Amino acid sequence: MSVGSTNKSGSLGWRLRAAREMAFVGREEELAVFGAALRGDGRGVLYVHGPGGIGKSALLRRFAHEAAVAGRPATLVDGSTLEPSPAASEAEPVLRDADAVLLIDGVERIQGLEGWLRERFLPRAPMGALVVIAGRNPPDLRWRADPGWAGTLEVLPLRGLRAGDARALLDFSGVPAESCAPLLAFAGGHPLALLLGAAVAAKDGGRWSPSQDMVATLLDQLVGEPPTAAHRHALEICAHAYATTEDLLRAASPEDAGTLFRWLRRLPFVESGGRGLFPHDVVREALETDLRWRDPEGYAAMHGRVHAHLAEKVRTANDAEVPGAVAALFYLHRDREAPAGFHGRHDEDGFQEEPLREDDLGTLLRVATAAEGTEGAAATDGAASAACAAFWAERRPEAFRLYRRAATGEPVAFSAWLRLADLAEEELTADPIVAMAWAHARATTPLRAGEHLAVARLWAPPRYRGDSPLMDLIQWRAIGDCLRSERMAWSYIEIRHPNHAWMERLPRYGMRDISARPADDAYGLFVHDWRAVPARAWLERMNRPLVAGPAGGPSAATAELAVLSQEKFTEAVRKALRRLSRPDALAASPLTRTRLIAERDGRNPATALGDLLRQAIDDLRADPRSVKSHRALSVTFLHGAPTQELAAERLGLPFTTYRRHLTAGIERVCADLWHRELYGTGAPTAPRST
């Protein structure tokens, strides 16, 4: 179509063009490149590519308008109507006129068209002519591999509109103010999604949410129909996870992960990054919204598989990969209230984390001092903060991490993860935060043998506190340390000047503020008992609203556990052995709320406790030194001897000998079960004294 052929102001075509020009926003960079090419200062062939609905056609129409204003004849051609042959009459004007501008839209619609343009048609164009090609896919690599095209072709990847331009488009479309934020959150800068949503929002008013008709239209336009159900499932996984790798597909889908990954990689709305593949935001949101509505059970099952895979990644990642692994896991909860300010951002590349080196000590002191301020009382606090940082850096340098701006290398913050099993008086005096944590643990449920607590300390300037990418990175590290720690009883996370969102969010996930809350709200100290709610249960509690909805009840794995001292634990085991034949009595045992039983998720707690005690007795047979104890326990508790005297008689033993064997057996069972309570049910039995 020759632009300018229907310029009469009374025609429908003129009115359509005028409306489109008024609605056009943004694209300054692309217009600048085209303007330079029009003036002869740029390349002769421009190749615009981007996914469906991103605005390629609108941009080409704008290019045509700019060409007409510059006095150059422009022809806009639909690629689906352009035959790759010498008789391509619509494109011929560019071959006869050095001032002509040819704009070809939808080049991917005709197989072989791109190669024909490159090899046969464009080389015939006169110098000075300008050609713009637009399609969903990037240009074939043969364009760039050919030295002849290197100085002639310029590639323009077209992405979403900037935030300000997207908002301007909504304002032009008459979207009510209260609908702008949810619409922008869903559509991002995707023009088609913005315009479809704007049409609904401007008509209906009120707070906007995507309708299923709109989602279906977007999926038809942006994604189309995947080849098979397996391909659709791979797309849904890619939309749900922050970044998709082949091993994630393998864990979440039974199909050929390699083939599906290669297919995803070639899609025009899927990009590759350092962590894997990720779709454009609007495609992600449309696929997520559609699956949740269309197949809630399938969505929950897919989420469960992805969540399990990423949780395992957190546990097994090497130390440097921990923040990214935690971020990927928490990205699954981007639409929910996630702990510690996780809002689905995954932009920690703006900052770098590294271990503390000896020559970083001076920087640490400067940052710690500046974190509190340099005037009046703040200066005093800054000196105290620096002294505290220096104290721990000297004693536990391995606990510290330094955070730098990735672009400049500027050091901006430090954190410390202090693992403490015992404290000297000077350590309590040097750090009031640690002293408060230590006093709380001792007054609540003290550390048991082999356990420790951890205190997370942070030194960062005020501008980085609160909701910021740096704080996200530091929190990912702290949460990773919590989820990966062995034998950690308590964690304490210090947060300077916590805002209202923090105060509301953290308690929902078992992190209570125990600080004195001084008048100036200087800090919060958020505590969690990892014995009462271990890492697995903590993750399941977070996960439950996403997969089950608000009505989902707690499972055995997510119920809060009892934290017993060794004395009370031993007493409970002795009592449970005496009640082994009475399931109703076992149900009242505090042992049913311990880690021992929680790790047998899905079973009735009383039944699980009875089976555990019977197995503990039976395990003694494997040790030749415990055979006599095994016999005494079996007759007394498994075979229901009414009295101990009758049990001794059945064993043919003097009563005192029987009692000695029975006592030794009970002590052995108590020791074995206590060892498993502390170290997990997969741990070997407690070591024997000889």
Please state the three-class secondary structure of 148-201 as a single string. Answer: HHHCCEEEEECCCCCHHHHHHHHHHCCCCHHHHHHHHHHHCCCHHHHHHHHHHH
Strands 74-78 and 101-105: parallel
Tens of pLDDT, residues 360-377: 889 998 888 887 755 545
Q: CB-based contacts of 189: which residues, under 8 Å, 6+ apart?
A: 159, 160, 161, 162, 163, 165, 166
Q: What is the pLDDT of residue 552?
A: 41
Tens of pLDDT, residues 324-369: 999 999 899 876 544 444 444 444 458 899 999 988 889 998 888 8
Q: What is the pTM of this model?
A: 0.74
- Provide the sign of the torsion angle of the four alpha carbons 249, 252, 253, 254, taken in this order: positive
Tens of pLDDT, residues 201-234: 766 666 677 778 888 888 888 888 999 999 999 9
Token digits of residue 480:
């990773």
- Range 442-465 burial, b when 16+ CB lie within 10 A, else e: eeebebbeebbbbbbbbbbeeebb
Q: Say how many C-beta atoms besides its own lie within 10 A of residue 314's C-beta.
A: 23
> Can you tell me the distance from the alpha carbon of 651 to that of 658, in angstroms, rounded to the nearest whole number?
8
Token digits of residue 402:
């330094």
Token digits of residue 10:
């009374």
Q: What is the mean predicted confidence (pLDDT) over 662-674?
A: 91
Tell me how far CA of residue 181 lies from CA of 23, 53, 198, 341, in angstroms.
20, 20, 12, 19
Q: What is the pLDDT of residue 379?
A: 55
Token digits of residue 89:
């009459």
Q: CB-based contacts of 155: which residues, under 8 Å, 6+ apart?
A: 46, 47, 49, 138, 139
Tell me how far CA of residue 219 lies from CA of 183, 232, 277, 293, 299, in angstroms.
17, 11, 19, 14, 17
Length of the chain: 690
Q: What is the mean predicted confidence (pLDDT) over 55-71?
A: 91
Looking at every residue in the chain, the average pLDDT score rounds to: 83
Tens of pLDDT, residues 468-488: 788 889 889 999 999 999 889
Q: Say how many C-beta atoms besides its own lie within 10 A of residue 422's C-beta.
A: 8
Q: What is the mean predicted confidence (pLDDT) over 434-441?
A: 92
> Can you tell me the distance from the alpha carbon of 678 to that of 575, in angstroms, rounded to the nearest whole number?
20
CA-closest candidate to residue 534, choices 568, 569, 488, 572: 488
* pLDDT at position 149 over 70: yes
Tens of pLDDT, residues 491-500: 998 887 766 6
Q: What is the mean predicted confidence (pLDDT) over 377-396?
A: 81
Q: What is the pLDDT of residue 273?
A: 83
Residue matched to tokens 């997207």: 166
> Can you tell me the distance from the alpha carbon of 187 to that of 201, in angstroms, rounded to the nearest whole number?
13
Q: Say how many C-beta atoms besides its own lie within 10 A of residue 219's C-beta.
A: 18
Tens of pLDDT, residues 671-683: 899 888 877 765 5
> Can you tell me the distance from the alpha carbon of 103 to that of 56, in angstroms, rounded to the nearest whole number?
11
CA-closest candidate to residue 405, choices 354, 339, 458, 441: 354
- pLDDT category at 690 given cuts 50, 70, 90 is very low
- pLDDT category at 309 given cuts 50, 70, 90 is very high
Residue matched to tokens 């055979």: 627
Instruction: Count Cα atoms within 13 angstroms, Cβ side, for 93.
Output: 18
More confident residue, 380 or 553: 380
- Structural contact between residues 537 and 598, judged by C-beta atoms closer than 8 angstroms: yes
pLDDT above 70: percentage of residues in the chain: 84
Tens of pLDDT, residues 617-641: 999 988 888 889 999 989 888 887 8
Structural domains in the chain plus CATH codes: 12-157 (3.40.50.300), 163-209 (no CATH), 221-332 (no CATH), 349-529 (3.40.630.30), 566-679 (no CATH)
> Can you tell me the distance from the alpha carbon of 648 to that of 650, in angstroms, rounded to the nearest whole number?
5
- pLDDT category at 323 given cuts 50, 70, 90 is very high
Q: CB-based contacts of 162: which residues, under 8 Å, 6+ apart?
A: 26, 189
Q: What is the mean predicted confidence (pLDDT) over 161-180?
A: 84
More confident residue, 92 or 249: 249
